[in-house]
Each structure stands twice: as structure tokens, then as C-alpha cells.
Amino acid sequence: MTEIRIVVVGAGVSGLTTALLLSENADYKITVAAKHMPGDYDIEYASPWAGANYLPVSVQGTDLAEWERNTWTVLEELARLHPEAGIHFQEAVLLNRSKDLESDNLSALAASTVTDPWYKDFVSNFKNMSKDRLPIGYENGNTFTSVCINTAIYLPWLTSRCLESGVTFKRATYGHVSEASNAHSSGIIADVIVNCTGLSAGKLGGVEDKNMIPARGQTVLVRNEGDGMMYATSGTDDGDEEVCYSMTRAAGGGTLLGGCYQKGNWDPQPDPNLAVRIMKRAVDLCPTLTSGKGIENFSIIRHGVGLRPVRVGGTRIEKERINGDWVVHNYGHGGYGYQSSYGCSQAVVKLVEEVLRARPTL
């Protein structure tokens, strides 16, 4: 087979994972072109701000459930065999109140906390908590062994793996997706463009997906470590858009406290009042975070704001002909871009193969 030139637009977790899986085919010569790269912190770049953990949010039988299922297999193996990826196992404690499950806004996040979740059959050590172990105010609790991804290590690790496989990288900002066809390192027009532009797919020429909306997430990264558990609740009494979660990142990455899920809010600045509520809720749930001494005892590394790239109707993994170029889309992963990353990228690899099979032979 002759060489196939592929340009992946976007260097978030979606673009990097897709480039890595595509690079397993030695005939594919891949260039990743992006405005933001690992190491950057920017409101237009969701990936560095994520926790990130694995708490499935999908409904059984859907594409997303398959993508989350397929991703677990890889994340579990990375946590077990590849400490250099910055992923470690952590016990998750998921708590819910039935009133939160009725909230339209938080129901996607609350899905992982339901009594009998579909994913319980493949994650390790799943248990429903006995009522006497539940913190006051919660009606149900589940525990299982999840993973926490230190994004500051994992994104550069994905980049290094891509480089090792011959993928090239360049900084570029496109007004129209077709401009990327000129970005291949060979200088020859690309055969396929893969669009992994996250929230910016709403503005990118040729795509302009009106279904893209941000779901703002504010976080506080602290040096403190609690009791070793990862917590997530289905909601809080501080408002319909506020949630409570915490997880300790691998390899000294600190503990990430969240958060909120503010749909339609583009504000890049941390709200100091919300930051106080986030810290307060975290110590209420896990007092050992500050040795029982309240939020004054937090040592803060950074306040953060990231915009989850939500797509009404779900993640878009599709092929499309735009201005004569073949484009395969992989965007709109909301609050589950890491935990569906391998499943989505595997689906993209199949679509790229379909596009190439359908081309007239030269």
C-alpha cells in the first residue's frame, strides 16, 4: 500500500489518542496540528483541566457505553503496567440522593452513582454500600476501583508515544477545517483530516456545529491528600449547577477538588465564592483532607476553569466530505473525554479505513 497522509486537528486527549491509534498502521503518516499543545493552560483547551477519572455516564446499549467500556480495558492496563503514563488506581466512593437524579442539568454526572449501574460487571471490586456507612444526607453509595489520570503527565506521555511512532506535530490555527489539508509534514495534500477540535467545532469553518455548548467546570488543585479515596456526589444543596468531587492525581499531582457543571457559561475566570464552596464541600465529605482543620488548612496549587465540550445529541464520530476533503469528526465529549477516549478513537480508525477503501485506486 502507498503512504497515506493524515492530519489530525487538535492535541487534546481526543486528538492525541486518535493519532496514537492511527500510528499503529505503518502506512499512515500522521501530522497533529493544533492551536494548543500539552503544557498549555487555556480556556479553549479542555483536556489539561480535567480530573481526570473514570466514572461512566452512559446509558447501557448506546454507542457511548461501548466507547466507555472499550476505554476501560486500556486505562486499566495502563494503570497496572505503565506507571510512566501517570495513571493510578483509586477507590471511588459515589454517593447519591434521589432528588439529584431528577435534575436535568446534573443527571449526566449523577448517572455514575445510581444503585445498579451497568458498568458494575467489568470494573473491579464493585460494592453497594450498606446504609450505616453512608454519610448523612445520602441515600445510596457505591464503591469500586477506578483510575485517576494525572493530565499533566498523561498528555505529554501521549505526545511522546506519538513521536516515538513517527507522528509529527505543528502549531496551527485554522479558520476553516479544509485549511488543514495543507498541514501535512510531507508538504503534500492530506488524504484524510481528523477533526478533534472540541468545543471549537462550534466555530470552525466548514463544521460550525450549533449543537456545541460549554459546561463550565471550576476546580481547586491542592497539595493536601485525604484518606486515599476518590469521591463524587450526585449533587449538592448549593444549587442545581454545583457538584462535589475530589481525586488525588498520581505521582504527586495534588488533589483536584470540584466543581460545577454550568451549561452555557463561558467565563474563564475562577469565581472566588464558588472556590470557597468547593473547598468547604470537599472537607465536609472528607475531613482528613485538612486533618479536620477546615478549609484554611488547604495549600492551594492553582484555581482552574475548564469548559467541557458538550454536544447536544452526543459525541460526533462521523465521516463527511467538506470542500472535496474527507473529514472524520471526533468531538463533543462533554465531561467524559478521557473515559471514552480509546473507544472513540478506535471508532475513528474504522471510519478512516472506510474512507480509504472507498477511494478510487490510483
Residues that bind ligand FAD (CB under 6 A): 9-15, 34-36, 45-47, 49-53, 172-174, 196-200, 204, 217, 219, 258-259, 306, 308-309, 331, 333-339
Cis peptide before 215 (omega within 30 of 0): no
Could you identify the residue written with the cell 492535541?
Answer: 11
First to last CA, the chain: 11
**Residue 47 grid cell:** 483536556
Q: Cβ closer to ligand FAD: 100 or 209?
A: 209
Q: Which is nearer to ligand FAD, 16 or 286 (CB)?
A: 16
Alpha carbon of 244 to those of 232, 278, 279: distances in Å? 6, 7, 9
**Three-point CA angle 128, 147, 104, nearest 5°:** 65
Q: Work out how close the CB of 136 gets to ligand FAD at its nearest, in angstroms, rounded to a whole number.
A: 26
Tell which phi-psi region holds residue 206, choosing left (phi > 0), alpha (psi between -120 and 50) or beta.
Answer: left
- The smaller minimum CB distance to ligand FAD, of residues 261 and 326, is found at 261
Please tell me the number of Cα atoms within 13 Å of 189 on its side-chain side.
6
Min separation Cβ 315 and ligand FAD, Å: 9
Nearer to ligand FAD, 127 or 203 (CB): 203
| Cell numbers for 251 | 505521582
Nearer Cβ to ligand FAD (82/176)? 176
Shortest distance, position 22 Cβ to ligand FAD, whole Å? 15
Min separation Cβ 292 and ligand FAD, Å:
27
Considering only CA atoms, give the Rg of the chain: 20
Q: How many Å apart are CA 172 and CA 180, to the nearest integer?
A: 9
Shortest Å, Cβ 32 to ligand FAD: 8
CB atoms near residue 74 (< 10 Å): 17
Q: Which of 163, 193, 196, 191 is nearest to 180 (CA)?
A: 193
Q: Compute the least distance from the CB of residue 357 to ligand FAD, in Å.
A: 26
Minimum distance between the CB of residue 24 and ligand FAD, rounded to whole angstroms? 19
